Structure 1
Amino acid sequence: MMIAAVIAGCVVLAVLAFLVPRLSRHPERGTQRSLGVGARAGGKAPGPLGRLFGKPFRSGSRAVGRSGSVGRRARGRMPF
């Protein structure tokens, strides 16, 4: 379920970043902030379980950041 939510968020952010690059930063930061809360909560588990539970949130946050930057970069390369 979380994987589908991260994928949907990435697609929406990439399209938003392509259409309105400046306005896409706020939703991107909000999404990364919420994923960071999950990573911190998962990281409180003891020992290796903490790293295991926090990893999907950290990788999701990285994916959201990349999708936003890719959308803005694609917009910058357009000839118009």
Structure 2
Amino acid sequence: MVVGIVIGVCVLLIILAFLVPRLSRGPERGAQRTAGAGGQVAGLAPGRLGQWLRKPFSKSQKAMGKSAGAGRKGRGRLPF
């Protein structure tokens, strides 16, 4: 279920970044901030467990940034 939500957010960000590149920065930051907050809470677990629980959140932050960047990059390559 969580994977589906992250995929949905990534798709939404890539479409938004392609259509309105300047306005896509705010939603991108908000989505990354939300994932970062989850990672901070997961990282409070003791020892290695905290590192392992934090990893999915950091990976989702990275995926959100890449998808929004790809949308802006695709828009920048259009001939008009």
State the partner residue of 2:11: 11
Q: Offset of 1:11 from its aligned partner? A: 0.3
The gaps in structure 1 that reach 5 residues or longer are none
- CA separation in 2, counterparts of 1:6 and 1:61? 9
Deviation track 1:6-63 (CA, whole Å, cap 9, x = no partner) reads: 1000000000000000000000000000000000000000011101111111000000
Q: TM-score, normalised by structure 1?
A: 0.98
Number of positions where the alignment pairs a residue of Structure 1 with one of Structure 2: 80
Stretches of 4+ moved more than 4 A in 1?
A: none
Q: Offset of 1:2 from its aligned partner? A: 1.1
User: Identity over aligned residues, as a percent?
Assistant: 54
State the partner residue of 2:48: 48
Q: Tell me the C-alpha RMSD between the 2 structures.
A: 0.5
State the partner residue of 1:28: 28
Q: TM-score, normalised by structure 2?
A: 0.98
The letter of the residue matching 1:79 is P
